[in-house]
Homo-oligomer: A and B are copies of this chain.
Amino acid sequence: MAEDLELGWSLGVLFREWQRRAQAATASVPHGPRGFQILQTLEGATPRQGALAAHLGIDRTVLTYVVDDLVDAGLVERRVDPSDRRAQLCALTDAGARTLAALRDAVAASEGALLAGLPERDAAELERLVRRAAIRLHVGDDRDACRVVADVAAVLDEARAPARR
């Protein structure tokens, strides 16, 4: 039965196993792996909730309470977008950045163990290819992508601007 070799089956096995291991590594963060992915995403970006939801592949109504819990835990903060007061920008707090730093190694180790059965070169190649395939799919689908990049650029500008203006 293991000779049943379809792509969907393989992706399912890998993804479920990733979730199981990441769960163990990120149990201290609200919503575990998903909460961790949010922290990861917010490092170096301050996206709107809508863009964040699209990036994670989840519904915006789901994201609302996930972010609620991260805010309650003091790891994330919301800021009204000055350019559109309907929108909320999400940002890491200092505690969030510290938590991310503390968990990153453990998560990386669990990801490494996921591919431990493969020769190191193959594991690296798999990671590279999976990443490229995902980015192509995601950028193709996600009309927010450009807006997100613009958001990031705007935030960085803003951070630098006070000294210059």
Q: Which residues in A have some Cβ–Cβ distance to B below 8 Å? A: 1-2, 4-19, 22, 33, 37, 40-41, 45, 47, 51-52, 55-57, 107, 111, 114-115, 117-118, 122-123, 125-127, 129-141, 145, 148-149, 152
Contacts and interface: CB of A to CB of B under 8 A. Distances in A.
A135 B2 contact: yes
Q: Is the interface of A mostly helix, strand, loop or mixed?
A: helix
A111 B47 contact: no
A121 B152 CA distance: 34
A23 B41 CA distance: 29
Contacts of A148: 1-2
B133 A14 contact: yes
21 contacts: A1-B152, A2-B149, A7-B18, A7-B114, A8-B19, A8-B111, A11-B11, A11-B18, A11-B134, A13-B134, A14-B15, A14-B137, A16-B57, A17-B137, A117-B136, A117-B137, A118-B129, A126-B126, A126-B129, A129-B129, A130-B130
A48 B30 CA distance: 38
